[in-house]
Amino acid sequence: MKHDSIIAREGLPFIAVAAFADLVAFAVGLNGLGILFFLITLFIIWFFRNPERRAPENPRQVVSPADGKVIRIEEISDIDFAGNDVRKISIFMNIFNVHVNRIPYPGQIVSMVYRKGRFLSANLDKASEVNERNTVMIRTDAGEIIKLVQIAGLIARRIVWWIREGVQVGKGERFGLIRFGSRVEIFLPLQVKILVQVGEKVRAGETPIGEMP
């Protein structure tokens, strides 16, 4: 099933509820409340926008999986990489960013693991450990592993994914979203050249964040 509509379909129930409340408020003469619900409806439509993106042509480049700001780049050992060191890039999405997430590099989905958790503000370091999350492992054609972690935030209460284990995915392909403020982490092999810095703003599916050797 394609997920290329201009508004992500997961937002339609929220839009419908806000729009209905807007109509009811105006119908009973509560114009001030009606204007408020109208603005809320517009915001929800804008939040669930799903714009087209074009990945860079350089086949070695790894693109950002999320819109937002790079808040941390670090070298860590990771159990999913047999305890080997990898580079982790953390991207914070505020409520004004596009929240549709995209595949950073082509390959095959080898595993997906969802875990319930808390809902701390996604820009806190502790959120990376305790919040609700979905972990996606991608094996590239060269046999390298890239890990993505969708982390719910303070307001978010639902991580959505549109892929499954075993499928082939392309660079820039939409793979899910997180509702209302969140964080995405990408784990890359050490030999990948990092092309972004902390504080830099990135766009999912477009901004190169790394380059394969």
CA–CA gap between residue 65 and residue 93 (Å, rounded): 11
Q: What pLDDT does 75 receive?
A: 95
Shared domain check, 104 and 17: no
Q: What pLDDT does 122 receive?
A: 47
Q: State the first-to-last Cα distance of the chain, in angstroms, to the nearest integer.
A: 33
Whether residue 54 lies inside any domain: the answer is: no
Q: What pLDDT does 184 receive?
A: 94
Which tokens in the block code for residue 128? 């990376």
Catalytic residue status for 182: yes
Shared domain check, 161 and 92: yes
pTM: 0.87
pLDDT tens sequence for the chain (213 residues): 678 899 998 889 989 999 999 999 999 989 999 999 999 999 999 989 999 999 999 999 999 999 999 999 999 999 888 888 999 999 999 888 999 999 999 999 999 998 886 555 544 555 456 678 899 999 999 999 999 999 876 655 578 889 999 999 999 999 998 876 688 999 999 999 999 999 999 999 999 999 998
CATH of the domain at 93: 2.70.70.10
Shared domain check, 102 and 124: yes
CA–CA gap between residue 131 and residue 121 (Å, rounded): 9
Neighbours of 173 (CB within 10 A): 19
Number of domains in the chain: 2
Whether residue 3 lies inside any domain: the answer is: no
Shared domain check, 155 and 90: yes
Shared domain check, 133 and 34: no
β-pair type (85-93, 100-102):
unpaired
Neighbours of 111 (CB within 10 A): 14
Shared domain check, 130 and 69: yes
Shared domain check, 76 and 40: no
Shared domain check, 72 and 36: no
Whether residue 2 lies inside any domain: the answer is: no
Q: Which residue has the tokens 């991207």?
A: 91
In sequence order, what DSSP letters do the residues of the chain get, joined into one string? ----SSB-GGGHHHHHHHHHHHHHHHHTT-HHHHHHHHHHHHHHHHHTB-------S-TTEEEPSSSEEEEEEEEEE-GGGTT-EEEEEEEEE-TTS--EEE-SS-EEEEEEEEE--B---TTSTTHHHHB-EEEEEEE-TTS-EEEEEEEE-SS---EEE---TT-EE-TT-EEEEESSSEEEEEEEETTSEE---TT-EE-TTTSEEEE--
Whether residue 178 lies inside any domain: the answer is: yes
What residues make up the domain containing 36?
9-47
Maximum distance among all Cα pairs of the chain, rounded to whole angstroms: 64
Shared domain check, 76 and 31: no
